[in-house]
Amino acid sequence: MSECMNFTEGEFYQRHFDSRAYVKNFYSCPRGHSDENDFLTFVLKCLSRVFSTGEHRGQRLVDVGSGPSIHSVLSACEHYDEIVLSDFADNNRIEIEKWLKNQEGCLNWKPILQHICELEGKSPSDLEASLKQRVKKVLKCDVRLENPFYPHTLEPADCVITSLCLEAACKDIQTYRRALHGLTKLLRPGGLLVMVGVLGETFYKVDEQSFSCLKLSQYDIEKVLRGLGLSIHEFNLLPVEDQKSNSVSDFEAVFHLVARKPSD
């Protein structure tokens, strides 16, 4: 049973989401939150494995629903010339901008940068500089819209990444399907879609504030992607070992998938 009586859509995030508490709770070290079974370590390793070889590269990468975070694009950033980060909530975009401009009091991403660089044999300062140089825009997005970046129209992307966004933004499977359709339209033919998310989750907490989540199965996600014509190249799972010990969420597994839009 969800701890949220009504589904907490974007407007709720705008009013109640504490960006700094979220990063402190879930991204202050490479393990992630201590209740969540090395959630973040798994995600960072999967993203590194996909992108660090340089096999996937191109002109433009779009991260849809970045939150206040930059972790999703760290392994990919050196292989794309232009990066767009985005979120619905103003505070999340403000925190990203503060980090990009190295403003006083900005969020500390050094532990995550260091972890990625240990995996990939890179310099944290070089990787940080590379990402900051490549991020061209930080835009408002709403995945419930046919064009999530309305009124902006983005040039087709070689890669779209989305992490922990759609299941938090979409109140039902129909909205989820429309949102994924909107993401596929951002991709050029043959473009890459990389998703990170959770299965079986109905809520998560930032400090004492609960946010609702669309409960999804692997079957649900694969059915939607295939229905949109995408080919799924990998679907990786990290199941929860002890769900009862988790006080901040009720997910059953974290997933990472790679899919491709058909070429014309």
Can you give the pLDDT of all 264 residues of the chain as single tens digits?
A: 344 458 998 999 999 999 999 999 999 888 787 666 788 999 999 999 999 988 999 999 999 999 999 999 999 999 999 999 999 999 999 999 999 999 999 999 999 999 999 999 999 999 999 999 999 999 999 999 999 999 999 999 999 999 999 999 999 999 999 999 999 999 999 999 999 999 999 999 999 999 999 999 999 999 999 999 999 999 999 998 766 667 888 889 999 999 999 997
Q: List the CATH code of the domain at 10-260.
A: 3.40.50.150
pLDDT at 247: 81
87 labeled binding residue:
yes
Annotation-wise, does 54 bind a ligand?
A: no
65 is in an annotated binding site: yes
For residue 151, is the peptide bond before it cis, meaning its omega torsion is within 30 degrees of 0?
yes
d(CA 229, CA 232): 10
Ligand-binding site membership of 43 (annotated):
no
Residue 27 annotated as lining a ligand binding site: yes
Q: Please tell me whether 66 is known to bind a ligand.
A: yes
With b meaning 16 or more CB within 10 Å and e meaning fewer, what string describes 153-177? ebebbbbbbbbbbbbbbbeeeebbb
pTM score, two decimals? 0.95
Q: Is 191 annotated as a binding residue?
A: no
Strand (E) or helix (H) holding 47: helix 39-51
**Is 143 annotated as ligand-binding?**
yes
Q: What is the DSSP letter of 208?
A: T
- How far CA 24 is from CA of 18, 69, 146, 174, 213, in Å, comes to 10, 11, 33, 33, 21
CA 224 – CA 257 distance, rounded (Å): 13
* Token pair 């409960």: residue: 215
Q: Closest Cα to residue 193, out of 216, 170, 218, 222?
A: 222
Residue 5 pLDDT: 58
